[in-house]
Amino acid sequence: MHIVVLAKVVPDYEVPSADFELVGNRAHPRYARMIGLYDENAVELGVQLKEKHAAGLTIVSYGLHEDVQFLRKAIAMGADKIVLVEGTSDDPYVIAANLKEAIDKQGEVDLVLAGRQSSDMDRGVVPGLLAGMLDYPFVPQACSVESVADGWKVAQITETGKRLMKLSGKGVLSITSVPENVPRIPAVKAIFAAKKKPVEKLPEIGARPMGVSEISVSIPKIESVCELIPAEDMDEAARTLFRRLKEERYL
Amino acid sequence: MERVPYWNISFGLLIDLLSIPAMAIFVYGLYRHWKRIKQGRSRIRLGIPVSALKIGPLYVRSFLANGIVGTRIYKKLFTGIAHGCLLWGMIILTIGTTLVFLNVLFGLPVFKGDFNRWFMGATLDAAGVAALVGVLFLLMRRVFPPERLTIFKSNSAFITIEVVIAVIIVTGFLVEGVRIAQTGPDPGSFVGNALALLLVNVALPEIHRYLWWIHGLIAISLIAYIPYSPLVHLVLAPINAGLDTPVPGPKMGVIDFEAFEGEGEEVPSLGLSRLADFQWKNLLDASTCLQCGRCHEVCPAAQTGKSLSPKGVMVTLSEYLEQGKMEDDSVLEAISTDAIYSCTTCAACMEACPVSVNQPNAILGMRQHLLMERSEIPDIMGQAHRSLEARHHPFIGTGFGPNDWRKGLEVPIFEKGKTEYLLWIGCSVAYEERTQKITRAMVHILKTAGVSFGILEENRCTGDPAKQMGNEFLFTEIAGQNIEEFNELGVSSVITMCPHCFNSFTRHYPLLGAKFAVIPHAVFIRDLIDKGAIRLSKGTETICYHDPCYLGRHNKVLSEPRQIVDAVGQLVEMPRSGNESFCCGGGGGNYWTEEEGTRINQTRALEALDTEADTIATACPFCMLMLTDGLKKHTEEQKVKDIAELVSSRMEV
């Protein structure tokens, strides 16, 4: 069994909005870089599957050479190797095409896991596009997966609860965050070992971009208006606050 | 008439001869302890450089103060006095008995003149009375024990020993009384003379003979039994105290990870998971522990219903050691992950321990194993840890960037060769709205005083939370980066506002190559006041001061903050203060814990509130946040302030 996890290195996704600034329409380089939030959940799930089924686990990423140092965390968590396609495109179609090329080069792949959306662009379209290109079924918002005869049993988080599905053969799953896939903290020995694990670098392939171009990027301005609620006691304050929130349609 | 040793006794020298096998059994017992203890391996730690008077490995001051005089025993007055009476009484009696031997063997003239009257008579009798009173008090404590003596384990062997000691003392007095009744009064022997009056009609030589042999044989047997009983603390406690460096706190040292990067070097098991991994000092601690429970009584985790008990940890280690389970890694499960992570590293247990046991060192060592080998960490602490790893600060979900604290404030950046002091910001005073006021107050003070200071352009943590959570590796990485930047900038003097930063800079950074002086803001501000660089208007408000563990107990900065408080208002003390202060609950990474049961910060906040002081002062941003939060349960008033805020608001321009 061979599992591929897609992981993208992104700028710190927890930078407070008040501190956020752009350089060249992208996050300022002063922010720390790290594997995307949901991608880490996908890596954790991949490692759990690897441990359960003695599977091979490959991390495939599209990004910069400098990203390798951050991707090594996935190796320390339990992956076997990193495959990095070096490229700078933001176009989901180009990214998906490059990832497909890299996955094709890995031989037999039984399952592809990805974060439900990247933590920088939040589009969540690459896994779906990739599934189309690979001609695999795609299940978004998956939270758990287990191997069954001829396929996978997948749990999907929906707005109202959880849906269990059977996936025949191979597939692409985009993973959402649940307590069961909170990324583990790599053991120190694994961090040391990760330094010696192989990194395969692939050149970018030319791919047709989508017919969408970026016109501008802006940071929404957050305005805060402070209003004191006059009240005699906490009970009255809470009631007044609740009424006001409903009036203003926040609730 | 001069006293005749071995009066009425045939072959009395047999007692002297029996002392030889007794001593052999005694020495063999100690050797067994040594064999167990030396199995602990210490492979990867660097020591803390200490400049103190040493004889071999023994620190003279620790040995004398905590090992011989036993100063910490007396923190519990009645128990301390009883213990002192018993210990010193028995030592004096042993000296007296030895003098009798020397008189018999070499004719040492101890039964003549004033020496006989005042030492062999009065002093020995007084020592016997003191020892008897002491042992009876301690026996009653064991029969009607306080909770601390029974929790986890009640050491019932003490009851047997105390009864035996009482029998030895009573038979000794009876032997003396019967002898005096037969031979006439002894000068100075006030107990013997009094007993002789009572025994005059029953003082048969046969009774004397039997009592003499019973007394002698039990005493000899007790000596042989010492190393096989809790009484072994008579030997181990002074040694343990003497081996304890005079530096307060857990003394974790650092791990030299670079050693593992060498060719062919295998990374050994990190942290402590089996007794074989422990340092031999940890095993000596476990052997020395009397299970008195003083540590349990002061432990903030234990006292608020958490699963941790420092006594419980030592009891478990000691049982595994006694059973020879050196390679058994179930010891962590026996203690439990919850317990290991509940430790706030406040070191109150160490401060309370009468035999210098270093409980936090063992607990943190096990925590290191859980995190660095097994990746086990409580959820919220794990999130903080991940943030620290990725962002170099542990304040998950903060609404602030690293420079938000200085918005609208002119703060100089440290310039190489021009700036004198680096004002270290770190994480805790940058990422929380409440603590940002401490930093701004400190900048105000330094500017007003005309101090040449600057901050780093890129703010980050010391890595101390990683160390406290058990990730020595991450700490070493962060510390390495900080040291490199300090060296590039030529930083020689650093001012800290967080005691955790101060502790890390002074305790651990030097072991990683740092060479700079560090001053906690409490000391720096006090010095500014003393030099007249800032002038304060003293108010009438009452202020109680909460000692942060890492500033007070860990680093003994106790008087300076109080001097500051005294300069701005009226100092009020809490019942638990100074070295005996109670933790705010935030140490050891527990700032990022969802506490179960009673919350430590609420307990401490109530203590502060109960002083009825107008303001609660502290000198640690973590204490500030914890107490502010804890106070919300009891009052809506915002009463907690840092000493920098107090000073800043009271400065005369």
Q: What is the DSSP string of A44-107?
A: HHHHHHHHHHT-EEEEEEEE-GGGHHHHHHHHHHT--EEEEEE-----HHHHHHHHHHHHHTT-
Largest CA distance in chain A: 71
Residue B351, both tokens: 């401060």
Question: From residue B375, how far is each of A58, A244, B405, B471, B491 by CA, in Å?
Answer: 21, 46, 34, 10, 36
User: Which residue of A lies nearest to B382 if distances are taken between CA atoms?
Assistant: A185
Record: contact A187-B372, CB cut-off 8 A:
yes
**Euclidean distance between CA atoms B459 and B12, whole angstroms:** 79
Pick from A15, A185, A192: which is nearest to B401 by CB?
Answer: A15
- Give per-residue pLDDT as tens, B53-76: 899 889 999 999 999 999 999 999
The arrangement of strands across the sheet holding A151-157 comes to A162-168, A151-157, A138-148, A171-175, A111-115, A2-6, A56-63, A81-86, A199-203
pLDDT given at position A202: 96
Check whether B132 has a pLDDT greater than 80: yes
Record: contact B375-A186, CB cut-off 8 A:
yes
Mean pLDDT of chain B: 94
User: Which residue of A lies nearest to B388 if distances are taken between CA atoms?
Assistant: A32
> End-to-end distance of chain B based on CA atoms, in angstroms?
85
State the ipTM, two decimals. 0.86
Record: contact B400-A185, CB cut-off 8 A:
no
Write down how long chain A is: 251
Record: contact B382-A187, CB cut-off 8 A:
no
List Cβ neighbours of A165 (8 Å cut-off, separation of 6 or more): A139, A153, A154, A155, A156
Contact (CB, 8 A) for A119 and A113? no
Contact (CB, 8 A) for B626 and B642? no
- Of B562, B401, B53, B46, nearest to B255 by C-alpha is B46
pLDDT given at position B122: 97
List Cβ neighbours of A105 (8 Å cut-off, separation of 6 or more): A83, A202
Check whether B2 has a pLDDT greater than 90: no
- How close does chain B come to A20, measured CA to CA in Å? 8
Q: Considering only CB atoms, which chain A residues are within 8 Å of B458? A: 30
- How close does chain B come to A187, measured CA to CA in Å? 5
Q: Considering only CB atoms, which chain B residues are within 8 Å of A72? A: none
**Comparing A61-65, B42-46, B385-389, which segment has the lowest mean pLDDT?**
B42-46
Check whether B44 has a pLDDT greater than 60: no
- Give per-residue pLDDT as tens, B435-478: 999 999 999 999 999 999 999 998 889 999 999 999 999 999 99
Q: If you average pLDDT over residues B541-561, what whole number do you get?
A: 97
- How close does chain B come to A200, measured CA to CA in Å? 23
pLDDT given at position A183: 95
Check whether B605 has a pLDDT greater than 60: yes
Pick from B257, B375, B390: which is nearest to A12 by CB?
Answer: B390
pLDDT given at position B45: 61
**Euclidean distance between CA atoms A183 and B554, whole angstroms:** 34
User: Which residue of B lies nearest to A193 if distances are taken between CA atoms?
Assistant: B267
- How close does chain B come to A185, measured CA to CA in Å? 5
Check whether B42 has a pLDDT greater than 80: no
**Euclidean distance between CA atoms B37 and B139, whole angstroms:** 30
List Cβ neighbours of B454 (8 Å cut-off, separation of 6 or more): B411, B412, B413, B414, B415, B419, B421, B422, B423
b/e per residue, A212-222, with b = 16+ CB within 10 A? eeeeeeeeeee
Check whether A142 has a pLDDT greater than 70: yes
Better-predicted residue by pLDDT, B65 or A250 = B65
Q: If you average pLDDT over residues B561-577, what whole number do you get?
A: 97
Percentage of residues in chain B having pLDDT higher than 70: 98
Record: contact A185-B396, CB cut-off 8 A:
no
pLDDT given at position B13: 86
Q: If you average pLDDT over residues B615-623, what whole number do you get?
A: 98
Confidence of residue B373 (pLDDT cuts 50, 70, 90): very high
- Of A87, A84, A86, A43, nearest to A182 by C-alpha is A43
Pick from A15, A183, A192: which is nearest to B260 by CB?
Answer: A192
**Euclidean distance between CA atoms B566 and B648, whole angstroms:** 14
User: Which residue of A lies nearest to B369 if distances are taken between CA atoms?
Assistant: A187
Residues of B in CB contact (< 8 Å) with A are: 257, 260-261, 267, 270, 371-375, 377, 379, 382, 385-387, 389-392, 396-404, 458, 471, 473
- Give per-residue pLDDT as tens, B574-602: 999 999 999 999 999 999 998 888 999 99
pLDDT given at position A159: 86
Mean pLDDT of chain A: 93
Pick from A185, A189, A191: which is nearest to B386 by CB?
Answer: A185
- How close does chain A come to B375, measured CA to CA in Å? 5
Record: contact B267-A188, CB cut-off 8 A:
yes
- How close does chain A come to B476, measured CA to CA in Å? 12
- How close does chain A come to B390, measured CA to CA in Å? 6
List Cβ neighbours of A161 (8 Å cut-off, separation of 6 or more): none
pLDDT given at position A228: 83
pLDDT given at position B269: 85
Record: contact A188-B403, CB cut-off 8 A:
no
Torsion of CA B278, B282, B286, B291, to 10 degrees: -130
Write down how long chain B is: 653
Record: contact A186-B373, CB cut-off 8 A:
no
- Give per-residue pLDDT as tens, B240-285: 999 998 889 998 889 888 877 765 567 788 999 999 999 889 999 9
- Give B413's DSSP letter: B
Determine how β-strand B54-55 pairs with β-strand B58-59.
antiparallel
Confidence of residue B485 (pLDDT cuts 50, 70, 90): very high
Q: Considering only CB atoms, which chain B residues are within 8 Å of A189? A: 267, 270, 373
Pick from B385, B392, B458: which is nearest to A185 by CB?
Answer: B385
- Give per-residue pLDDT as tens, A4-14: 999 999 999 99
Confidence of residue A175 (pLDDT cuts 50, 70, 90): very high
User: Which residue of A lies nearest to B265 if distances are taken between CA atoms?
Assistant: A192
User: Which residue of B lies nearest to A234 if distances are taken between CA atoms?
Assistant: B636
Is A242 in CB contact (< 8 Å) with chain B? Answer: no
Record: contact A18-B400, CB cut-off 8 A:
yes
pLDDT given at position B20: 94
Question: From residue B129, how far is each of B79, B81, B87, B238, B619 by CA, in Å?
Answer: 16, 13, 12, 25, 49
pLDDT given at position B200: 83
Record: contact A185-B260, CB cut-off 8 A:
no
Q: Considering only CB atoms, which chain B residues are within 8 Å of A185? A: 371, 375, 377, 382, 385-386, 389, 471
Q: Considering only CB atoms, which chain A residues are within 8 Å of B387? A: 14
User: Which residue of B lies nearest to A186 if distances are taken between CA atoms?
Assistant: B375
Q: Report pTM.
A: 0.91
Record: contact B397-A14, CB cut-off 8 A:
yes
Q: If you average pLDDT over residues A45-65, what whole number do you get?
A: 97
Record: contact A16-B400, CB cut-off 8 A:
yes
Check whether B49 has a pLDDT greater than 70: no
Quick one: which H or E segment has residue A22? strand A22-23
pLDDT given at position A86: 97
Record: contact B373-A14, CB cut-off 8 A:
no
Better-predicted residue by pLDDT, B548 or B247 = B548
Pick from B270, B371, B391: which is nearest to A32 by CB?
Answer: B391
Q: What is the CA radius of gyration of chain A?
A: 21
Tell me the residues of chain A between 167 and 226 that have a Cβ less than 8 Å away from chain B.
182-189, 191-192
